[in-house]
């Protein structure tokens, strides 16, 4: 793995920021094309508002094989009022995906964020009924149409001490996770069901604790026969010391996940540059190096089925709103710049994906 990582970083350095930036999109193979040669899908998160930009629509259509709604399938938008479901926004995304020949996966059903106020106010019995109705209605609406769902999002405590002390845990107990997965499976038996989590990629002690808590949960679910088909690693990475920048222990963790007979999805990949110097070439080289190192760690794992970046163009990144740079400059965390032109990060990704390896098609529920 280390030799492969060094090769990828060397290729990025040889290309240089200016060369990578100058490459026109049509001159290079697409991310989805390179991923498909390895038996993978390449995906991106999008919103309806973002797709109003013709350039971004074209970029997503050319580079991706799958989209995931960034916010359109979260509870506060779908059922803002009890019993009144509005699928207009996610249906529009699905129509776009179908028109472009892309898949769309579901994100997310049970999360401690973006909940309507009325859900937060429910006592335990009513909260359980609301969850059952919501999962049954939403997954049922898309039955047979979405290959996979992030059923439970971020269930592990940030410090890795166990399950997150969310309203779900406090009012329904730890069984809420198995119940949510069972309800989703009942609503669409063909969909691959996923538990999605962040902070599992790095080499620090906090990450190790969180991994162990996550593995404990997964083993319990497997022992009980709860329907679960894959795990999602969000992979919000950092090009500085504030988060994961090295991934020496990640391959062994992936093998532990695979040993549980679970597929592995990278669901929200980006690279935060908020603490790097302002100079764009330096920032872009550092971001590209993290992409290269991360992909060198995950791509050899046979159970890896999907890589999704949380956006494709820097103009759409969530980081500028939620983790802005102190100097006020926009972040550059994604493969393409504000003008949808490829950067050093795109070159690093392409270098990591080449040459294509002979991989099995894996779970048809995820890869179809």
CA nearest neighbour of 322 among 309, 333, 337, 336: 333
184 token code pair:
């989703």
Q: How far apart are the first and last CA of the chain?
A: 29
- Burial (Cβ within 10 Å: 0-12, 13-18, ≥19) of residue 250: buried
Helices (H), ranges, the chain: 2-22, 31-37, 54-63, 75-78, 88-100, 117-120, 124-141, 167-172, 176-187, 205-224, 250-259, 280-298, 319-322, 344-353, 364-367
Q: Does 268 participate in catalysis according to the annotation?
A: yes
Spatial contact of 304 and 264, defined as CB atoms under 8 Å apart: yes
SS (H, E, C) 81-130: ECCECCCHHHHHHHHHHHHHCCEECEEEEECCCCCCHHHHCCCHHHHHHH
Pairing, β 236-238 against β 192-197:
unpaired
Q: Which of 70, 197, 201, 268 is catalytic?
A: 268
Spatial contact of 44 and 64, defined as CB atoms under 8 Å apart: yes
CA 132, distance to chain mean position in Å, is: 25
Backbone torsions φ then ψ of 44, nearest 5 degrees: -150, 150
Spatial contact of 164 and 172, defined as CB atoms under 8 Å apart: no
Cβ atoms within 10 A of the Cβ of 44, count?
29
Spatial contact of 181 and 139, defined as CB atoms under 8 Å apart: no
Q: Does 170 participate in catalysis according to the annotation?
A: no
219 token code pair:
């083993």
Q: Which of 72, 79, 154, 301 is catalytic?
A: 154
Indicate which residues carry an active-site annotation. Answer: 154, 268
């Amino acid at each position: 793995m280390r030799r492969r990582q060094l090769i990828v970083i060397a290729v990025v350095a040889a290309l240089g920021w200016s060369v990578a930036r100058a490459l026109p999109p049509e001159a290079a193979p697409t991310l989805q094309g390179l991923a498909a040669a390895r038996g993978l899908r390449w995906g991106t998160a999008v919103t309806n508002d973002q797709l109003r930009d013709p350039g971004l629509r074209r970029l997503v259509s050319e580079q991706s094989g799958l989209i995931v709604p960034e916010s359109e399938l979260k509870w506060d938008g779908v059922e803002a009022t009890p019993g009144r479901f509005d699928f207009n926004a996610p249906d529009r995304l699905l129509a776009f995906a179908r028109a472009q020949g892309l898949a769309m996966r579901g994100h997310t059903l049970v999360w401690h964020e973006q909940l309507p106020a009325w859900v937060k106010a429910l006592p335990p019995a009513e909260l359980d009924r609301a969850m059952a109705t919501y999962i049954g209605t939403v997954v049922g609406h898309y039955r047979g149409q979405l290959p996979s769902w992030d059923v439970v999002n971020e269930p592990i405590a940030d410090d890795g001490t166990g399950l997150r002390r969310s309203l779900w845990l406090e009012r329904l107990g730890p069984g809420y996770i198995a119940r949510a997965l069972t309800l989703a499976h009942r609503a669409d038996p063909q969909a691959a069901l996923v538990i999605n989590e962040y902070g599992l990629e790095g080499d620090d002690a906090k990450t190790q604790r969180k991994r162990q808590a996550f593995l404990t949960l997964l083993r319990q679910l497997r022992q009980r026969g709860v329907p679960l088909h894959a795990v999602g690693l969000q992979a919000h990475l950092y090009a500085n010391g504030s988060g994961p920048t090295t991934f020496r222990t990640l391959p062994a963790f992936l093998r532990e996940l695979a040993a549980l007979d679970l597929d592995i999805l990278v669901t929200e990949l980006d690279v935060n540059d908020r603490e790097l110097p302002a100079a764009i070439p330096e920032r872009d080289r550092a971001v590209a190096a993290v992409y290269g190192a991360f992909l060198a760690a995950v791509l050899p794992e046979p159970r890896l089925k999907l890589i999704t970046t949380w956006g494709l163009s820097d103009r759409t990144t969530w980081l500028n709103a939620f983790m802005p740079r102190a100097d006020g400059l926009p972040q550059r965390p994604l493969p393409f710049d504000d003008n949808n032109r490829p950067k050093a990060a795109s070159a690093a990704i392409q270098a990591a994906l080449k040459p294509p390896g002979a991989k099995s098609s894996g779970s048809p529920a995820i890869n179809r």
